[in-house]
Chains A and B, each alone.
Chain A
Amino acid sequence: GESVGLHLPTLSVQEGDNSIINCAYSNSASDYFIWYKQESGKGPQFIIDIRSNMDKRQGQRVTVLLNKTVKHLSLQIAATQPGDSAVYFCAETYNTDKLIFGTGTRLQVFP
């Protein structure tokens, strides 16, 4: 069957390199942003979030950057591993519960 991410933009990186996945969001009033990882056959899984009063937030091997001026969000993954291969979605919200998802990027990690 057709997998998630078949028609999505693809980023190919070598194992060990850093990955940067970009997202343009739509609503200047959005105040909370989330990155999700979706592996084939599974639902999206929370990676990291950031609120609009911040411009950077770091987690374990991941960093999210927010540029409200140009409505741009990025996800940086350090030392990318094969297990990072998945489709990544950004999501925005302006009322806490209802999420609006971006188009998604497929990350392929090769040895």
Chain B
Amino acid sequence: SAVISQKPSRDICQRGTSLTIQCQVDSQVTMMFWYRQQPGQSLTLIATANQGSEATYESGFVIDKFPISRPNLTFSTLTVSNMSPEDSSIYLCSVHRDYEQYFGPGTRLTVT
């Protein structure tokens, strides 16, 4: 299994500001994934983060809005930049290990 922690667990932010979400995994993984879950909705993949290279973004998501860092094989950050109320969501990181995908507990973001 994989144990994943995220910080912060929740935050309330003002529009126009930025928030960086941290994801820590209990052991090394090649790829880490960031998902967004809007209120009452399913999960949508934002990007895939590999250590030592730029993240790969899905359609509809851009690096300027969601910059990602992956400094080592156990850690990643996702920044939500210049926030608007539409960015209010749960943001989850995920890893793939032993043929299973594991998810962190999520960061619940509310933008006012």
Contacts and interface: CB of A to CB of B under 8 A. Distances in A.
Q: How large is the interface on B (under 10, 10 to 19, 20 to 34, 35 or more residues)?
A: 20 to 34
B104 A43 contact: yes
A111 interface: no
B69 to A, nearest CB: 20
Question: Taking chain B's interface residues, is the majority helix, strand, or loop, or is none over half, making it mixed?
Answer: strand
Interface residues of A, number: 26
Contacts of B92: 43-44
Contacts of A43: 4, 92, 94, 103-106
Contacts of A6: 39-40
Contacts of B102: 46
Contact of B90 (A4, A98, A104): A4
Nearest to B106: A43
A63 B102 CA distance: 21
Contacts of B48: 97-98
Contacts of A91: 101
B105 A7 contact: no
A69 B39 CA distance: 32
A25 interface: no
Nearest to A99: B101
A89 interface: yes
A98 B40 contact: no
Given A4-B37, A43-B104, A97-B96, 17 more contacts: A1-B108, A2-B39, A4-B40, A7-B40, A41-B106, A42-B105, A43-B94, A43-B106, A44-B43, A46-B100, A46-B102, A91-B101, A98-B33, A99-B45, A101-B43, A101-B44, A104-B42
20 contacts: A4-B40, A4-B90, A6-B39, A8-B40, A34-B101, A41-B106, A42-B105, A43-B94, A43-B103, A49-B100, A96-B96, A97-B101, A99-B43, A99-B45, A99-B94, A101-B43, A102-B42, A103-B42, A104-B41, A104-B42
